[in-house]
Amino acid sequence: MPSSMNRRQFNWATVGSLGLRLTAAALPASAASVFLADPAHAESQERLGDYASHTSDTRSLTATSATGQQLKITAYGDQMVRVQAVRAGEMFFPDSRYEMVVPGNHARMRGSLSVDDHDDSLVITTAGLDGIRILLHKKPLRLEFHRKHSTRPTKVGNLLAKEDDTRSLGWGGPDNSVVTQEFVPPAADADERFIKAGHGTFGRSPKLDRTGDLVAHNYSTASGGQAPALVPLYLSSNGYGVFFNTTFDTTFSFGGSRPYAFSADDHNTEGVRPQLDYFLINGPDFANLLDQYTQLTGRPRLPQASIFGLQMSDKNFASVSDQNWWRQKITEHRAAGFPFDHQVNDNRWRQGSGAWSGSWFEFSDVRWPDPAGYEEWAAVNGVTVTLDYNRNNSNEMDGWVAGPPPGYSFNAADVTAVNQKDAVPDWTNPAARAWVWSVFWKKAFDPTLKYPGDGLWLDEPDELGPIPYNADAANGWKWSELRNAYFFYLHKGVGEEGWDPEAGGHVGRAKRPWNWSRGASAGQQRYGHYWTGDINSTYDEMRMQIRGMQAAGLGGFPYANIDGGGYHPAANGLISDFLYRNWPAAWSSLSPIWRPHGSANTTSAGRRASRWPLDQGTDAQADFTKYSRLRYTLMPYIYTIAHQANSTGMPMARAMFIDYQDRATAYAHDLQYLWGPSLLVAPLTSDGGGSTQVWLPAGSTWYDFWNDTRYTGSDSGELSYATHTGEIPLFVRAGAILPRYPYAQSTKYMNKRQLELDVYCGADGAFSLVEDDGVTEDHQLGERSVTELTYVDKARKVVIRHPRGTYSGAPTARRYVVRLHGLAAPVGMRVNGGATLPTFTSEAAAVVNGSGTVWDSAKKVLSVVTPSIPAAKRNGVAARIEPSGEELPPATGGTVHQVESATLDGAFIDTRHPEYTGTGYAGFADSSADGAFIEWTVDVPDAGTRTLTFRYANGGASDRPLTVSVNGSPVERALPFHPTGGWATWKTTSVATSLPAGKVTIRATTAGSNGAHMDSLTIH
């Protein structure tokens, strides 16, 4: 080092040009943590000195101190400013150094600043009337951030944050290896709360309100520190947030008995030092703040619709699973009435051992001899597929090159302590990223292969903790700077550079990827996702995961992906029946990604070690069925809030304080959350049988989802709610409009030709339903539809507008089923000004008869079924549903008995073809040409002649007659079931017969040919 320079004065940007190699010992712990814990240490910090001069343009201002330090403020729109500071002789990092911010946004998100120069300060303001006002004091240089105009009342007025003489930005630690921004702590009576986005290892968050805490979320230094979400962002209840634009280790201190500060630490390694670089974002609402943050760092990537269906893995069958096992397991699972969408392959599909080690990314020619044949089956049956890649097997894959560039790894000496040290890719190396994608492409994703592949499970990129801070990376960084960005570079290679390009060797827009790693870095959300690792199977773990899910959503990761039931069960390999019903069945179904998964092997631990519902007990199966039908019928609501997350950054699972920012109690209730705008979920984190406390916010009436009991919200007390195993406390806000589809066993089968709306009376409401093709990226080009739904409570009127926009596969006509909850008494209803609709005994009867109303006197729910209404290209009203001014007519139409309630022999429940009236139809097995049957047991109040009407579909070319018997005696030996023109075209066939009073069995039996698909039996 030149004699005229010391370490404090050295310009780190000149290291490369001087060809110097500096040495420094890495610290074992974060110096930032030490500094923040000890405010007295601040006296040894270098801080900004007095003002000397400034330069400015329309967007930025740079102030220089008397000692040559520089402070730069740049506008990114009206509600966001970037603050950067360097010591004398240093240069600001180029914008391209950190890619957490979308690189193009540095130019796209331009704002403007005005500067007023006063004797003692510079007053800097953004352009918006509700924008940011910065007061930069001159002696010494100190910052104050204000809102120009307050749009929400706070106890500190327009002040956001400020420095003073002793609390400001500065440099310190050993050889100035720590950079810190310290603000004056909020006054105790200000009641300002702080929330840290992201979480530490294993997706765990001890609480959401981190006021008074010291929080450091960084890549672990241990091998077992799995799945952190590294998002250097925090939010203040005062309506602003700070994003720290650095990949060095960060520590945040949130007042109370501690300083209010944040810092970055390079652990005194060689090379560049951290620079102060952060974005202050003015909401003032949390929703606006998250919108701006995800605009800055990238919108969360929207997966295929199938990803929001049920996902299951073969982990519990590690000794037996193969492609035939998968086909049989899914078929049996669906035959029992359960849904299935996404198949998660865990090791066994891979060439080699088929185990965690000794196997590599390529279809096994033993266990998966015909992947193309499997993909053909999967496409027909509505199944999508994830393939897993384990980092530890990288060196087994085609083309791996060891060592640093031109190899794909690090220096051998730097990875000696890493498990599987021969397989440690350096993802900052473009060649390494290109290599791994080329393997994925050639072995699976090239469409000419016609292999299954819709997602990549990128496992174990979080196991590199033992790499020393001073290790060199291919991009010229030290590990101390790279480690928190390691996940990001992996996803950049697999997403932006691998999957996305519209060119040969890439998938492009034809199919959205579902790429998920064990761990996440800020900005990664625009490429892919993550899951929370190998977590424990306990209620304590479940509570931390509930909070972690919400914290991840605040950091741009709204599609929380958690092992349902926990990965590590008890010593016997099992979780309790109670835990299964409360977690994998209940809570997981009301979280963004429904993926039960655990480590136990059924070969040694028995069938119940499986997470598949069909392998559980009777009660667990019943609960799983209940939540399957809830989630799948709510899919239009769920998919819409997933779209909102993609377009605005709003989490699917919203922390209570997002909607109730000004209510102190919202910050304490972090074991409940809002599932979109209308539902409140309070997962049961104990076995049940006692009570739990639920906060129902004041200003709304809340319905118990399970029984429609109404509660008045209160901010001064909680609802003591009696709990039952397998029944998650779930509430609906009055005024909610919940869009639903008829139940189907795959998102591929969803019947978009029937849209159902559950409307909860007591307040006006609105909802914008978003739909698209569910597979391609064409939604980014505007290929989607938005259907506006409104409810006027006083008039009991629902208005459904025609969809705005369209997409491939959009329905050309729709039937609407509207259910009004909470009515004291029924009234006659009409559609689009027509006559009063007739009344029927069930919705199915109304559908069969074309339209009508149904009154459920026990639940106080009035259903209105409209005729099928053609979609119009203009944005007009499709259906106006309102009282007709007349009384509800008497019910007619007979009694409908769904096939799902019948006994089946040689037949099975299916949902592949739409327009059935219940939760499925019965299809006869291919081998059931003779003797297979469907049998209903019905109650007949009075003996007499009845007409038995069967609703069916026959897509074949010939009649498929059935023998109809009553109490075992044939009444029609060959009732015709003529072709209907398609398997989704339903017609009826009838026979008149005499029925006795009491319990009666009615059986339809195949006789010489396979039967038609059966939907229901109606008795008139």
Q: Per-residue pLDDT for 137 more than 50?
A: yes
The CATH number given to whatever domain includes residue 702 is 2.60.40.1180
Position 874 confidence tier, pLDDT thresholds 50, 70, 90: confident
Whole-number Å distance between alpha carbons of 523 and 144 = 28
Q: What is the CATH number of the domain that holds 1007?
A: 2.60.120.260
Alpha carbon distance 782, 775 (integer Å): 14
Q: Report, in this order, helix, strand and coil percent for the chain, each rounded to 5.
A: 20, 30, 45
Q: Does residue 663 fall inside a structural domain? A: yes
Sign of the torsion angle spanned by Cα atoms 38, 40, 43, 48? positive
941 SS3 class: coil
pLDDT recorded at residue 548: 98
Q: For 126, phi and psi rounded to 5 degrees?
A: -80, 170
pLDDT digits (tens, 9 = 90+) for 633-689: 999 999 999 999 999 999 999 999 999 999 999 999 999 999 999 999 999 999 988
**Cα torsion 98, 102, 104, 106: sign:** negative
- pLDDT at position 343: 98
Position 1009 scores a pLDDT of 84
Q: How far apart are CA 1006 and CA 189, in angstroms?
A: 78
Backbone angles phi, psi at 192, to 5 degrees: -80, 130
Q: Which among 256, 251, 282 has a CA at the least distance from the CA of 266?
A: 251
Domain match, 777 and 875 both: yes
Alpha helices in 919-988 (DSSP H): none
Residue-wise pLDDT for 287-341, tens only, equals 999 999 999 999 999 999 999 999 999 999 999 999 999 999 999 999 999 999 9
Interval 255-286: pLDDT, tens: 999 999 999 999 999 989 999 999 999 999 99
| Biggest CA pair distance of the chain | 111
pLDDT recorded at residue 650 = 98
pLDDT in the model for residue 571: 85
- Mean pLDDT of the 988-1016 span: 94
Domain that holds residue 1014: 895-1019
Burial class (CB in 10 A: 0-12, 13-18, 19+), 794: exposed
Verify that 929 and 887 share a domain, yes or no: no
Using pLDDT thresholds of 50, 70 and 90, give the confidence band for residue 1012: very high
CB atoms inside a 10 Å sphere around CB 225: 19
218 within 8 A of 250, measured Cβ to Cβ: yes
Rounded distance, CA 456 to CA 528, Å? 10
Instruction: Tell me whether residue 923 is in a domain.
Output: yes
pLDDT of residue 9 exceeding 90? no
Q: Across residues 116-143, what is the average pLDDT?
A: 96
Q: Which of 520, 529, 105, 132 is nearest to 296 (CA)?
A: 105
Res 156: pLDDT: 54
Q: Do residues 831 and 879 lie in contact, with contact meaning Cβ atoms separated by under 8 Å?
A: yes
What's the whole-number mean pLDDT along residues 705-712?
A: 98
- Give yes or no: residues 881 and 757 share one domain: yes
pLDDT, mean of residues 108-121? 96
Give the strand pairing for 877-883 and 829-831.
Answer: antiparallel
Tokens of 892: 């007619």
Q: Are residues 781 and 842 in the same domain?
A: yes
Q: Are residues 925 and 967 in the same domain?
A: yes
- In percent, how much of the chain has pLDDT > 70? 95
Does 38 score more than 80 pLDDT? no
pTM above 0.75, yes or no: yes
Strand partners, 749: none
- φ, ψ of residue 569 in degrees (nearest 5): -80, -170
- Indicate the residue type of 105: N
Handedness of CA 201, 202, 203, 205 (dihedral sign): negative
In a domain, 866, yes or no: yes
pLDDT of amino acid 151: 63
CB 831 within 8 Å of CB 864: yes
Partners of 786 in the β-ladder:
770, 804
For residue 722, being part of any structural domain is answered with: yes
* 3 state SS of 702: strand
Domain end position, chosen among 864, 892, 920: 892
pLDDT in tens, 909-956: 999 999 999 999 999 987 667 889 999 999 999 999 999 999 999 999
Write out the two tokens for 54: 């400034």
Kindly tell me if the per-residue pLDDT of 354 is higher than 80: yes
- Say what the pLDDT of residue 152 is: 61
* Residue 34 buriedness (CB in 10 A; 0-12 / 13-18 / 19+): middle
3 state DSSP class of 928? coil
- Give yes or no for a contact between 1004 and 964, defined as CB atoms under 8 angstroms apart: yes
Look at residue 37 and tell me whether its pLDDT is greater than 90. no
Cα torsion for 479, 482, 486, 490, to the nearest 10°?
-110
Above 90 in pLDDT, residue 357? yes
pLDDT for 97 equals: 97
Q: At residue 17, what is the residue type?
A: S
Query: Over the stretch 574-621, which tens digit does the pLDDT of each residue have?
Result: 999 999 999 999 999 999 999 999 999 999 999 999 999 999 999 999
Identify whether residues 771 and 715 lie together within a single domain. no
Alpha-carbon gap, residue 613 to 580, rounded angstroms: 9
pLDDT at 154: 60
Interatomic CA distance for residues 35 and 766, integer angstroms: 50
Give CA–CA dist 951/893, Å, rounded.
14
Per the prediction, the chain carries an average pLDDT of 93
Is 707 contained in some domain? yes
The pLDDT, as a whole number, for residue 1007 is: 86
The 10 Å Cβ neighbour count of residue 455 is 28
Quote the tokens at residue 954. 């026959």
Residue 862 lies in a domain: yes
pLDDT at 893: 87
Question: pLDDT category, 15, cuts 50, 70, 90?
Answer: very low
Q: Quick one: 847 and 870 in the same domain? A: yes
Rounded CA-CA distance 770/784 in Å is 7
State whether 887 and 913 are in the same domain. Answer: no
888, 890, 893, 894 alpha-carbon torsion, rounded to 10°: 130
pLDDT for the residue numbered 572: 87
- pLDDT of 19 higher than 70: no
Residues 882 and 922 in one domain: no
Pairing between strand 785-792 and 797-801? antiparallel
Region 979-998 average pLDDT? 96
Element (H, E) at 482: helix 479-482
Give the helix ranges, DSSP H, for 368-474: 371-380, 430-440
What does the block give as tokens for 587? 């809570």
Cβ(44)–Cβ(34) below 8 Å: no
Is residue 575 situated within a structural domain? no
The beta-strand segments (E) located in 118-173 are 121-126, 132-137, 142-147, 159-162, 169-172
773 and 787 in a single domain? The answer is yes
Quick check: helix, strand or coil at residue 515?
strand
Residue 953 contacts residue 981 (beta carbons within 8 Å): no
Q: In the 8-state DSSP scheme, what is residue 40?
A: G
What pLDDT score does 149 carry?
80
Boundary of a domain, candidates 892, 909, 924:
892
Would you state the structure tokens that stand for residue 420, as one six-digit string? 């599987």
Q: DSSP per residue over 247-307, as a string?
A: -SEEEEEESTTS-EEEEEE-TT-SSPPP-EEEEEEE-SSHHHHHHHHHHHH-PPPP--GGG
- Higher-confidence residue of 306 and 129: namely 306
DSSP letter, residue 444: I
Interatomic CA distance for residues 733 and 718, integer angstroms: 16
Do 571 and 565 touch, CB atoms closer than 8 A?
no
In this prediction, residues 790-810 reach a mean pLDDT of 97
183 in helix, strand or coil? Answer: strand
Torsion-angle region of residue 885: left (phi > 0), alpha (psi -120 to 50) or beta? left
Sign (positive or negative) of CA dihedral 389, 391, 393, 397: positive
Of residues 24 and 456, the one with the higher pLDDT is 456
Query: DSSP of 571-590, one letter per residue?
Result: TTS---HHHHIIIIIIGGGG
Paired tokens of 600 = 């136990």
Same domain, 924 and 954: yes
Residue-level pLDDT at 190:
87
Q: Would you say residue 111 lies in a domain?
A: no
Please report which confidence band the pLDDT of residue 188 belongs to, taking 50, 70 and 90 as the band edges.
confident
Based on the structure, what is the number of domains in the chain? 3
Burial class from Cβ neighbours inside 10 Å (0-12, 13-18, 19+) for residue 446 reads middle
Of 663, 697, 730, which residue constitutes the final position of a domain?
A: 730
Among residues 279, 284, 196, which one has the least CA distance to residue 239?
284
Residues 791 and 842 in one domain: yes
**Secondary structure element (H or E) that encloses residue 334, with its range:** helix 323-335
- Residue 950 and residue 663: Cα distance in Å, rounded? 56
Token reading at 697: 């916010």
